[in-house]
Structure 1
């Protein structure tokens, strides 16, 4: 599978080499470690949801699982498309800022962009206001993969879309079953289980449960 965006890839990687050293080093750090920001956000929304109702907790618990599902879909698609990395395939392009992955570590779609897109949508379904943070972070992650030279633009675009769609579908389909499971687990006598799912909303507190993404 080929797309005619090699010229854009060259333009971006040429631009990357013209940027100051601190920009290149920052991009190299972000493109690998930036996913940890999403991990921290997943942990934060889980911790907060421990004191919410079963439905809110269910969505928070599903968010990282949905993102993991998107990653699996990305890996399966890679094994079907088997597109070579641009840092190896594009003649005359500037050297990649990041180490070019070995042959067999295919390019399409971008796993990083898929995870970022899935995380952005899944977290926004937990709390809609988070989209103002997660969407720019996901776009920055996707761009960084082209900037450092290890993906084509179409790789990261496909990854963002794939991640967002899989996360949306997974959360929507899984909310009902996970809500019932969360309610049941909160009645468990096991201390570890009760710590993981949290105490929930105190008895008599006014319900503020709303549909996913409307909070």
Structure 2
């Protein structure tokens, strides 16, 4: 802990200089692109992945759709909890931003006034929480989400606003919150989502317009051939 507050291990600082040094030799347009991607783009892409997963889940069978939708609800909730956990953690460690301790860094966010503490990275925490939460809902899209979270961490170091260990800590925090609390969260969210799915008003949040939930066993799904009116059935 003391090593973090005084600038981190030498390998941490050397990796910071090596990764951030790439920005010094890269075209300015690339640096601006990485800055935008690292600050907003990857998080936006993760949100779009969650929405895409939700779109596909609505066409699954009822039981699978409910589980998937519950996981998709848990992903942003877990991300929010992870950020809340990070508030006292950052104050406890009290590690300044790298550009406030080390000269010669190419900072790609000079106008944002990053005066808060560095460990752990909020962006890495948020991105990994969304990625792992998405993995619970959909393995294929989850791998993409986790890959985006790793890219987010690399961007934060490239931008000169975080040490590598800040990013590693954020990735670990986001993963831990999602996985450790997932059993309880899913147990609480699944009944709520199931009730929403069966609601005539808001059920289409979970099921597509053309999908009809299965009726209880013993009730005919469709009338026999040639019987189309209630009077026919009664006869």
Q: TM-score, normalised by structure 2?
A: 0.77
Partner SS for 1:107: coil
What residue is the counterpart of 1:208 in the other structure?
A: none
Question: Are residues 1:87 and 2:99 paired?
Answer: yes
Q: 2: CA distance between counterparts of 1:165 and 1:179?
A: 21
Do residues 194 (structure 1) and 203 (structure 2) align?
A: yes
Judging changes above 3 Å, is the alpha-carbon distance between structure 1 residues 131 and 57 closer, same or farther for their aligned structure 2 residues?
closer
How many aligned residue pairs are there?
A: 202
Where 1:149 maps in the other structure, the secondary structure is coil
CA distance in 2: counterparts of 1:147 and 1:131, whole angstroms: 24
* Closer/same/farther in 2, CA of residues 20 and 49 from structure 1, 3 Å limit: same
CA–CA distance in 2 between the matches of 1:169 and 1:202?
34
d(CA) in 2 for partners of 1:57 and 1:131?
14
- Determine which of 36, 45, 50 is the counterpart of 1:42: 50
Q: Which runs of 4+ in 1 moved over 6 A?
A: none
Q: Which runs of 5+ in 1 are unaligned?
A: 206-215
Alignment of 1:105-184 (within 5 A): 105-184=116-195
| 1:103 to partner: Cα distance | 6.4
Query: How far off is 1:76 after superposition?
Result: 2.9
The corresponding residue for 1:211 is: none
Q: CA 1:145–1:103 in 2, change beyond 3 Å: closer, same or farther?
A: closer
Deviations 1:65-111 (A, max 9, x none): 12222222222311222211001112x33231222754651100000
CA distance in 2, matches of 1:61, 1:113: 20
Asked if structure 2 preserves the Cα contact closer than 8 Å seen for 1:13 and 1:93, the reply is no
Deviations 1:2-42 (A, max 9, x none): 22111221222222211222321221110112211111112
Does structure 2 conserve the Cα–Cα contact (< 8 Å) formed by 1:16 and 1:147? Answer: yes
Q: Normalising by structure 1, what TM-score? A: 0.83
CA gap 1:106/1:39 in 2 versus in 1, 3 angstroms = same
Unaligned runs of 5+ in 2: 216-235
| Partner Cα distance (2:28, 2:188) in 1 | 50
